[in-house]
Amino acid sequence: MTKPILVLGYGNPSRGDDALGPLLLDFVDRQFDLARIDLLTDFQLQIEYALDLQGRELVLFVDASVACSEAFDFAELQPARDNSYTSHAMSPAAVLQVYQSITGQFPPPSFLLSIQGLSFELGAGLSDEAADNLQQACQFAGRLLSHSAADAWRQALSQKHTVIC
């Protein structure tokens, strides 16, 4: 049975602040009953994740971002053609586009929580700034996941920037 909520945190846990996505998943794992929440993690997004969106009511992508101007950003995603040329990694909007292309259906309501990261060296730990950002993002994600409806998440958009990083 597919769980209605998917939280997909991606990044390399051994590359400094790139671990932010997987670390937020650890927080959800500790703090929430996972009866209705699926947790998935990977180094990066790829085409097959489109198939993991099937049957979901809500999807939350979580990633480290160097483009955030604040501790974190939260945005609703729309399917978009992937012109990012970011090699083997896809953007979450492009994953939604793949979903739409292969199913012929609009993807489930999907959101991106971007957490500001600064340092991405192999073998480095989380930077102090990123640790603070993670704490704030976890609090925000906690509020989101305690109201598991798309409308409630859209209301939360007004509490944060709607910029897609």
Partner 1 sequence: MYEHLETADPNLTSVANLKRVVVDPVSRVEGHGKVTLLLDENNKVQQARLHIVEFRGFEKFIQGRPYWELPVLVQRLCGICPVSHHLAAAKAIDQLVGIDPANLPPAADKLRRLLHFGQVLQSHALHFFHLSSPDLLFGFESEIGKRNIIAVLGEYPELGLQGVKLRKYGQEVIRMVSGKRVHGTGAIAGGMNKALNKEERDYLLQDIDQMIAWADASVALIKKVHTSNLPFYDDFATIRSNYLGLVKPNGALELYHGGIRAKNERGETLVDHFDYCHYNDIIHEEVRSWSYMKFPYLTSLGTAMGWYRVGPLARVNNCDFIDTPLAEAARAEFKAHGGETMVHSTLAYHWARLIEMLHCAESIKTLLHDPDIMSADLVAKGEKRYEGIGVIEAPRGTLFHHYQVDENDIVTKANLIVSTTSNNMGMNESVRQVAAEYLSGQELTEPLLNNLEVAIRAYDPCLSCATHAVGKMPLQLELLDAEGKLVDQLVRHSSGEFVHGI
Cβ distance to partner 1 smaller for residue 101 or 155: 101
Residue in the structure block whose two tokens are 């509490």: 159
The two three-digit tokens of residue 63, written as one number: 């990633």
Strands (DSSP E) along 21-140, which ranges? 37-42, 58-65, 72-76, 110-116
Contact yes or no for 36/4 (Cβ under 8 A) = yes
* Under rule CB under 8 A, residue 63 binds partner 1: yes
* Under rule CB under 8 A, residue 23 binds partner 1: no
* Under rule CB under 8 A, residue 97 binds partner 1: yes
User: Which range binds partner 1 by CB under 8 A, 4-12, 24-32, 140-148, 150-158?
Assistant: 4-12
Residue in the structure block whose two tokens are 């997004």: 45
Minimum distance between the CB of residue 102 and partner 1, rounded to whole angstroms?
A: 5
52: amino acid identity, one letter: D
Choosing from 29, 121, 128, 132, the residue that interacts with partner 1 (CB under 8 A) is 121
The two three-digit tokens of residue 148, written as one number: 């598991």
Choosing from 3, 4, 12, 161, the residue that interacts with partner 1 (CB under 8 A) is 12
Choosing from 36, 55, 66, 69, the residue that interacts with partner 1 (CB under 8 A) is 66
For residue 84, report the phi and psi dihedrals to the nearest 5 degrees: -75, -20
Q: What angle do CA 127, 32, 60 make, to 5 degrees?
A: 65
Binding residues for partner 1, rule: CB under 8 A, are: 10-15, 17-18, 40-44, 46-48, 50-51, 63-67, 81-89, 91, 94, 97-98, 101-102, 114, 117, 120-123, 165
